Each structure stands twice: as structure tokens, then as C-alpha cells.
Amino acid sequence: MKSSDRKLGMGAAISRRDLIHGIAATALGAAMTRSGASEAAAPIAGAATYPPLREGMRGAHPGAFEAAHGRRDGAAYPAPVPTGETYDLVVVGGGLSGLAAACFYRRRFGPSARVLVLDNHDDFGGHARRNEFVSDGRTLMTTGGSAYFVAPDQWTDQAKEFVRSLGADFTVRRRETSPFAALGMRPATFLSRESGGDGRLYPHVRFTAPTPAFLKAAHLPQRVREDLAAVYHGTVDYMAGMSTAQKIARLQSITYQQYLLDYVKVAPESLPWLPGVWCLSKTAASAWFAYFRYAPGFSTLGVARAPYSPEAPEDEAADFHMPAGNSDLARLMVRELVPQSLPQGTWQSLETVRLRYDTLDRPKAPARIRLNSIVVRVQHVGAAPVGLFEPETRPVAVDYMRDGRCSRVMARNVILAGNNNMIPYLCPEMPEEQKAAQHKAVRAANQITTVLIRNWEAFRKAGVTHVDTPTGFFGSFALDVPWAQDDGQPDMDPGKGVIVIFMTGTNSGILNNETMTRAIMGTDMPDNLTMQQQFRMVRMGLLQTPFSVFERAVRTQMNDALGPYGFDAARDILGITVNRWPHGFAMAQNSLFDPPSPTGEQPCEIARRQFGRISIANSDASGQDLCNTAIDQAWRAVEEMVPHNYGYYNRI
């Protein structure tokens, strides 16, 4: 080991890290105290039986995808062994859409309906993943992916009512201002020496909203400072001489990078200092989409922005955050399906209550959730109907790999709630047009890394809560706001442990950050690739990047920025969880690369067509990576299964 790695603490033992290699951890022996409560809880199970405690490489963890990739590549599997189970519904995928589909089905067809949810991960929720750490007897929780409800006021009535019925109250919001602000702590920017900076922490400034004073004082190359000033504070119309219609047409036809280079006249060496657009690189997003998503550089054009941007201030103000992100909603769905998994109560009262994973797959239970089960085949059994008016009543066989064995369950109905581009390999009998549309659902890769530190005294001394690290492997890191029951006053003792969240850039999309993209790919992203080609390259790089790369970046960036204030990564970092999502954000078609449909029917609409007794519910089915659309698609898929026999036909 290099001496520099040793100084960072790379050789230090972090609790439960070995779980990434499948080594069972011993149970935690000490009793814990619920956050905000004085009474000691009973001794708790360790990470071996409670997935949210697992650290190391999480998200798409080792063991969660290999069998699926083998199916894609034509690998042979053992002959499936029937389990003898038959269900009214089998749901493939236990993310938000799959869990919602299971709930909707039992509500629609009654509590006696037998439902099985199969998921390839060792935890439920999909991207709505929960991360937990234990520090000084306190449970600290945060999101490992899907973080919040985007503008719930604009949801469909169906989605709103479903979430309310589970016990999630939109009116209970986290405090408007961070409790750290009351201590005088603010965001800051760190310019590392490796990036050409001076290794200083610049207080009270976000690099994504640099002030003129900061740009004047920042230790950056002169041309970079000038270009950043032009992008963020320009006063001239960069498309002067064009009409509004001409500007819009041009912005829709060029990439954001082309706009920056050709119109704002940014130098190529300044591009790495500017973020991408949402989860896209600057070469995968149109300039019009960049403007819609509030990327900088457009304020002087005199063109109205299209409404309903997720970054619009009025919509951001309506976003709803739960302490552990949307994993809290997933837990409420699991409670409805398996009441023994969590006690009754509001979601706030359950925040630190550990869900009982041993209840999820009990024999004879009407609803079951079976984890670590990778589905490799879904097919109707028996002769297909021959007459146009004969309903499809054949059972469906669902084969899945678990612990090296292939098993088969039977279902009267199936809902596929995983990634669309896996469906053609599971159901090769589907129509070619439908499979081609499913292959187009290539998702953006993203990550979020959560870190437990011993205390936040260094943050307090530096007066910072959030640190932007431009051109760093991670684009930023920030203190997670401690949670308190009923929005009360959280424990603000800087001597106690806290979670720090490491983001890719302005969000969790990897292509947003050129440095991380280059690091995991081993090369720069070529400029001439389509969005989907870029997604595939980043996905491959992410799966091949070891945990140590993320760990080294965490330790280095925290030491560099906060070391002068007393932080020591080797001493103060107690746990690291990397939530990698190679199949991350669902994506609509990109007007730069995808020609419009001649019929007006979008690929996501073709891809989600019902096939016999198989329906499709996932975020790909809407082309939007949003919690509410995942719920809406689950509701649609269940409604497709309502039998229509008398006088029913869709072809004559």
C-alpha cells in the first residue's frame, strides 16, 4: 500500500465492508438508542440480516446483476425446478413501481389475492434505497438513491391519494432552513491544487452560482474566470440578430457544449469547470433542454423558458423530502403488503424502527417479497388462443436464479417492473416492434455515496455545511441534516457523528461530471456519441470501478478541504457506502439523436403494451424518472388486468 493511502486511512478497517464480498458480518452486540429517544432498544441484528446497514459497494451490488447479464449474453441456466407455488400475481422488480403494483392489485382484487414480488437485490425499493449507520447508539439514516418527491402538488390524483393512503403526509415538511444555518454555517467552494486552484476553501459561495467577487478573487486561470463570468453574469445577447423563433429552433438543434463554444465563446479549457445538464453531459443535452433545466448562460437571450422545469424555484419549493428519501415510501408499501414487517403508526414515528426482513417471505402469507432472486425467463405456458375473441387465460411461468439454483413459480398474471431493456431477454416471444422499443430505454448511470464521520467539528470550525469541489471526482459533499421527531429540534452537538453525502455534480448523474466520467472510463468521452452510447459507456465503466476508487476520493477530498480545520480522514471516517446505479435515471427520447415517431406513438408507449397476461410497470414505461410516474404506471398495469369477457374485443 502506498504511504499516501495509508495516511488517508485506506488500510483501516471499516465496519461491515467485507459484506461487499458476501462475507457475513457478526451481529452488533451493543444495544442502541433510537434517535431522539432516551430508552435503549433491544439488541439489534447486524448487517448480515439487515441490509440498510451494509456498507461498501451497494446499489447494484455484486451478485445482483450477473445472472441477468448472463441471460442477455445467452448463457445457459439449469433447468428450473418448480416450487409448487401459484400466485394470482407475480411482480418482477421490487422498486417503487413494483411495490405499488402489488399494493394496487391487492386493493383491486381483494386481500385474498396472492402476490409474490421478486427482486434481484438484497433489499427492496429499487433506487429508493435506505442507508443506515449507527453512531454512539443513535441510528442515522439517509437516502441511497431516489431522494424526494418532485413537485407533488402536480401529481395525478391517483398518485397523491395512494401516497396519502400509505400514511405519508405531504403537509409535514422538513424545516425550511437548515439548522446548521443558525450556527452561521454556509456553503463553500474548494479549489484543489490538482485542479489548478490554491487549495483554499472559499466560504459563503457556491461554485454553481459564483459571485462576481468570487470570480475576481478565485485562484483560477484568467481565461476560466472570464468565461465563467460570461456564462453566469453575461450582459450581452449571445444570439443577437436572431428572432425568438430562430433562437429557439437553433437552441433545439445544437448541444449545450456547442452553444457555449460557438455563441458564448467559452474556451475549450473552461468547459470542465461547467457542469452538465441534469444527468447528461454537455454533448448529450440540447441547448434548449439545458435552458429548460436552468443551466447557466441563457439569461440574456430574451427567450421565455418552457414551464414546469424541476429546477424552477416554485417547483423546487414544493418538493417533499422524507428523512431517508423515497425509501421511506417503499417501507410503507412493504408494510401494507406484509403488516408484520413494521408496526402501525405514522411514517415519522417509524423512522428509526427497523423493518423485519424475516417476515417478507413467509409461507402461506398472501403477499410475499423474495429478495436476491434474479428473474431470467417469463413465458406463457400452453397453447395460445386461436380465435380473435378468445381471452388469454394461459398461466405464466416465471423462472429465477437464487443461490445458484433456478426455480419456477406459476402466475395467473405478471407485471414486469424492472428495466425495459431486459424484457426482450425475459420474453423473447414479444412482438419485434415492442422489443425494439424496449431496447431504446437506456438509462443514465448515477451514484450517491454516503459517509459516516465521527463528528462534524471540522465543518463547524470552517463554518461550512456544503462544499463544492469543481473538477473533483465528486462534485460536492455536504452534511446531511439530522432528523428529529415531528420536525423538532435535532441533536446539533458537533461532537457527535453525522452523515456526509457525496454527489457527482449538481446531482447524482455521472455524466454531469467530466472528472468522474473520465476516471471510471479511463478516457475522455468522445464528442460524437449519442446520449444512449454515452450511457452505455459510463455504465460499463461504473460496473468495473472498484470501491477503492470511490473511497480514495472521499478521503482525499475531505482531507484536502477540511484538513486545515482538524479533519483527519484516517481517524474520522467510520463508514462508507457507495450506492452505484448503472441503470439509473429513466430517460425519454432525445430530440438531438432520436427522430420523431411517424405515428406519434412514443417508444415508451409501444414498449409498455400488454402481452397476454404480462403487463409492464416501471419508470421506463413513462420515460420519466419520477416517483409519481412510477406509481401511475403501476396503477395502469393493474387496471389492464381487470377481466373484460362479455362483449369484449379489440380486433375484428
Q: What is the pLDDT of residues 258-270, one digit of tens each?
A: 999 999 999 999 9
With residues binned 3-state (H G I as helix, E B as strand, rest as coil), the percentages for the chain, rounded to 5, are 35, 20, 50
Q: 145-167 burial, b for 16+ CB within 10 Å, e for fewer?
A: bbbbbbbbeebeeebbebbeebb
pLDDT of residue 645: 62
Residue 355 has φ and ψ, to the nearest 5°, of -70, 140
Is pLDDT above 90 for 42? no
Residue 5 has φ and ψ, to the nearest 5°, of -70, -40
3-state secondary structure of 500: strand
Residue 513 has φ and ψ, to the nearest 5°, of -120, 110
Is pLDDT above 60 for 23? no
Q: 462-471 burial, b for 16+ CB within 10 Å, e for fewer?
A: bbbbbbbbbb
Is pLDDT above 80 for 488? no
The pLDDT of 177-204, averaged and rounded, is: 93
d(CA 334, CA 516): 35
In which band, very low, low, confident or very high, does the pLDDT at 298 lie, cut at 50, 70 and 90?
very high
Determine the longest span between alpha carbons in the chain, in angstroms: 78
The pLDDT of 90-103, averaged and rounded, is: 99
pLDDT of residue 290: 98
Estimate to the nearest angstrom the gap between the alpha carbon of 440 and the chain centroid: 20
- Angstrom distances, CA of residue 41 to CA of 38, 146, 350, 354: 9, 29, 14, 11
Is pLDDT above 90 for 9? yes
Is pLDDT above 70 for 44? no
Exposure of 377 in the CB half-sphere (CA atoms within 13 A): 19
- Under 8 Å between Cβ of 95 and 417: yes
pLDDT of residue 46: 81
Query: Residue 227: enclosing H or E segment and its boundaries?
Result: helix 222-233
Of the candidate ranges 43-52, 102-111, 635-644, the one whose mean pLDDT is the lowest:
43-52
Is pLDDT above 70 for 487? no
Residues in a beta bridge with 503: 476
Residue carrying C-alpha cell 424518472: 625
Is pLDDT above 50 for 19? no
d(CA 317, CA 341): 33
**CB under 8 Å to 583, separation ≥6 — which residues?**
60, 419, 443, 445, 539
pLDDT of residue 32: 29
The pLDDT of 359-368, averaged and rounded, is: 98
Return the amino acid letter for 351.
E
pLDDT of residue 510: 97
3-state secondary structure of 400: strand
3-state secondary structure of 141: strand
Residue predicted with more confidence, 291 or 1: 291
d(CA 227, CA 499): 35
- Paired sense of beta strands 130-135 and 138-143, if any: antiparallel
In which band, very low, low, confident or very high, does the pLDDT at 636 lie, cut at 50, 70 and 90?
very high
d(CA 138, CA 40): 10
Listed residue (488, 160, 484, 150) closest to 317, CA to CA:
150
d(CA 587, CA 129): 20
Residues in a beta bridge with 368: 116
Estimate to the nearest angstrom the gap between the alpha carbon of 423 and the chain centroid: 21
- Paired sense of beta strands 464-468 and 444-453, if any: unpaired
The average confidence (pLDDT) of the chain is 91
Residue 205 has φ and ψ, to the nearest 5°, of -150, 135
d(CA 493, CA 339): 36
pLDDT of residue 543: 97
Grid cell of 175 as nine digits: 424545516
The pLDDT of 601-619, averaged and rounded, is: 96
Q: 418-441 burial, b for 16+ CB within 10 Å, e for fewer?
A: bbbbbbbbbbeebeeebbebbbbb
Helices (H), 389-506: 423-426, 432-439, 457-462
pLDDT of residue 29: 29
The pLDDT of 504-524, averaged and rounded, is: 93
Share of the chain above pLDDT 90, in %: 78
pLDDT of residue 598: 85
DSSP state of 293: T
Angle at 605 between CA 156 and CA 538, to 5 degrees: 95
The pLDDT of 189-214, averaged and rounded, is: 95
DSSP state of 284: T
In 383-463, DSSP assigns E strands to 396-402, 405-411, 414-416, 444-453
pLDDT of residue 343: 96
Grid cell of 203 as nine digits: 466560504
- Paired sense of beta strands 444-453 and 573-585, if any: antiparallel
3-state secondary structure of 596: coil
Return the amino acid letter for 591.
S
The pLDDT of 416-436, averaged and rounded, is: 97
Is pLDDT above 70 for 650? no
Estimate to the nearest angstrom the gap between the alpha carbon of 339 and the chain centroid: 26
pLDDT of residue 168: 87
Is pLDDT above 90 for 368? yes
Estimate to the nearest angstrom the gap between the alpha carbon of 70 and the chain centroid: 24
**CB under 8 Å to 211, separation ≥6 — which residues?**
205
DSSP state of 442: P
| Global confidence as pTM | 0.93
Grid cell of 265 as nine digits: 465563446
Is pLDDT above 70 for 388? no
